[in-house]
Amino acid sequence: MRIIPAIDIINGKCVRLSKGDYNTQKIYNENPLEMAKKFEAHGIKYLHLVDLDGAKAQAIVNYKVLESIAKNTNLKIDFGGGLKSDADLRIAFESGANQITGGSVAVKNPALFKTWLQIYGADKIILGADAKNETIAVNGWLETSDKALIPFIKDYVKAGISTVICTDISKDGMLQGPSFELYKKIIEQIPNLKLIASGGISHFDELPILAKLGCEAVIIGKAIYEHKISLKILEKYLLMSH
C-alpha cells in the first residue's frame, strides 16, 4: 500500500482543517517545500497536495507551491483543489503535477471531467469522491450534492476512471480513525478499483488494516503533523513492504 502524506495550502502555508471547516485552520509549516523535503528524506515517494485557496476560489491559486515542490524534490505529486477548467489543468501539469484530482468538477461538470479522462488517461486523472453519510460533497465540502457515493463512483469507473480518493468528511482531521466499513463496502462492490483511503487516520495500526481491506494507498495528514504517526515508522513500513 502506498503512503501519501498530504499538504494542504492556504496563503502558501501548510495547514490542516477539521472536517473541511476553513475556520479551524491550524498552520503547521510556513514553508510547504521544507515539509515535502522532510517527507522525501524519510523514503516517501508520493505527495497529495491540496490547494484550499483554489477550492474556495474555484480556480487554481497555489500553483507556485506545486512548482517549487516539483522542481526541488522527486515526489510524485497528485494535485487538487479548485481545478475547474482546461486552463487550470494545463497549469497544474505544467507546474509539475504527476496526477490531478477532480472532485467538485466531476459532480458539477461531468462532461468536462470525462474529456480530461479521455485526453490525459486514467493514470493522470483521479476522481475525488468526498462523502458525508455516503453522499457526495463539493466545493471544499461547503455543500453536499444529491449523489449517492457508490453509484457515483461506479458511473465513473464505467467512464474509465481507475483511481479514486475517497474521503469521509465526518472523519477528516478528527484523528479518530478512518472509515473502514465504508472502504470495505466500496471494495466489495467495485473490486478492481484503486481506492485511496483518506480522512481520519490517527494511528499507525490502522494502516495494515486498510492494506488488508485492499486499499491501494492511504493519505495521511494531521496524524503526521500532530506526531501521532512518526515519519520514522512510515519509513520502516515502506522498507518492510518492499
The pLDDT tens digits of the residues spanning 107-161 come to 999 999 999 999 999 999 999 999 988 999 876 556 778 899 999 999 999 999 9
The pLDDT tens digits of the residues spanning 159-200 come to 999 999 999 988 888 889 999 999 999 999 999 999 999 999
The catalytic position among 88, 130, 168, 172 is: 130
The catalytic position among 8, 51, 53, 168 is: 8
For residue 31, the 8-state DSSP code is -
Q: Domains of the chain (ranges plus CATH)?
A: 2-240 (3.20.20.70)
CB atoms within 10 A of CB 200: 23
- For residues 136 and 129, what is the distance between their CA atoms, to the nearest angstrom? 6
Mean pLDDT of the region 83-99: 97
Read out DSSP for 116-182? HHHHH-TTTEEEEEEEETTEEEETTTTEEEEEEHHHHHHHHHHTT--EEEEEETTTTTS-S---HHH
State the pLDDT confidence band at 20, using cuts at 50, 70 and 90: confident
Read out DSSP for 43-103? T--EEEEEEHHHHHHTS---HHHHHHHHHH---EEEEESS--SHHHHHHHHHTT-SEEEES
The pLDDT tens digits of the residues spanning 24-50 come to 999 999 999 999 999 999 999 999 999
Q: Is residue 82's pLDDT more than 70?
A: yes
Annotation says 78 is catalytic: no
E strands in 176-236: 194-198, 217-220
The single residue listed with the C-alpha cell 483521479 is: 126
Q: What is the pLDDT of residue 159?
A: 97
Q: Is residue 68's pLDDT more than 90?
A: yes
Asked whether the beta carbons of 222 and 173 are under 8 A apart, the reply is: yes
For residue 216, the 8-state DSSP code is S
Q: What is the pLDDT of residue 3?
A: 98
Annotation says 130 is catalytic: yes
